[in-house]
């Protein structure tokens, strides 16, 4: 299954939604599902689902639907989750702690093998099965463990410095929760999750809801 054309970011972002729901269907013992039923579960039109999957080849059987386990495996291969990516988290505060204990990471193909912080009260603790090490040792751990993806949950003031250290250590991709734009080399993939933007969007829509609509 090779991509024959450029795939939009919107399609790529929907693939994990399909995958997560297919895992739930597997857990429920459901073997086959139609694009209509899958669309109902996700709030996505069946036409969009079929169009997204067509970008990567022919899936399912006309008049029958998608075989859940088969489509799961195909999406795993499309996204590359069979790589079993190793993850390192810098900043083991409340958010970092929660991410380190997020059990679904493993099922999605990600394995946390490095946790880093500067707080001596946290260093040495076992969080989610991984011992927190001093951030000054991050380069050594990243290289020895073969960590490819870094997650930054540190305060904004030190996020760029942490990103620089990750890049120097050989990290290939970064997911940052710091509320600022990181400067990294072009070959490094960086994505930013900003909770304040999501909450602000909710605030906007609640504030500007149509007259008479209940909150």
Q: Is 170 annotated as a binding residue?
A: no
- Tell me the H-state helices in 28-137: 35-42, 46-54, 68-79, 94-100, 104-107
Task: Round to whole Å and give the CA distance between 2 and 5.
Answer: 9
Q: Is 114 annotated as a binding residue?
A: no
Non-local (6+) Cβ contacts of 162 within 8 A are 90, 91, 135, 138, 150, 152, 154
The distance in angstroms from the start CA to the end CA of the chain is 46
Q: Is 92 annotated as a binding residue?
A: yes
Task: Round to whole Å and give the CA distance between 95 and 22.
Answer: 27
Q: Is 173 annotated as a binding residue?
A: no
Place of tokens 């093998």: 113
Whether 10 contacts 42, CB under 8 Å: no
Name the 3-class secondary structure at 35: helix
Q: Quick count: other Cβ atoms within 10 Å of Cβ 135?
A: 22
Q: Is 71 annotated as a binding residue?
A: no
Q: Is 198 annotated as a binding residue?
A: no
Binding-site residues from annotation for NAD(+): 91-96
Binding-site residues from annotation: 91-96
């Amino acid at each position: 299954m090779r991509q024959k054309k450029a795939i939009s970011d919107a399609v790529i972002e929907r693939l994990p939604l399909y995958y997560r729901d297919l895992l739930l269907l597997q857990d429920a013992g459901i073997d086959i599902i139609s694009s209509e039923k899958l669309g109902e579960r996700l709030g996505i039109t069946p036409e969009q689902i079929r169009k997204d999957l067509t970008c990567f080849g022919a899936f399912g059987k006309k008049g029958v639907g998608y075989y859940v386990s088969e489509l799961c495996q195909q999406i795993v291969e499309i996204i590359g989750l069979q790589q079993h990516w190793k993850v390192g988290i810098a900043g083991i505060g409340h958010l970092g702690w929660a991410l380190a204990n997020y059990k679904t990471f493993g099922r999605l193909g990600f394995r946390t093998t490095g946790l880093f912080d500067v707080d001596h009260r946290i260093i040495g603790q076992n969080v989610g099965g991984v011992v927190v090490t001093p951030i000054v040792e991050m380069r050594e751990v990243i290289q020895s463990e073969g960590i490819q993806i870094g997650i930054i949950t540190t305060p904004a003031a030190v996020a760029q410095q942490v990103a620089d250290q990750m890049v120097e250590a050989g990290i290939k991709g970064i997911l940052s929760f710091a509320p600022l734009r990181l400067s990294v080399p072009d070959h490094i993939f960086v994505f930013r999750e900003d909770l304040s933007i999501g909450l602000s969007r909710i605030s906007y829509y609640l504030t500007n809801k149509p007259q008479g609509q209940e909150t």
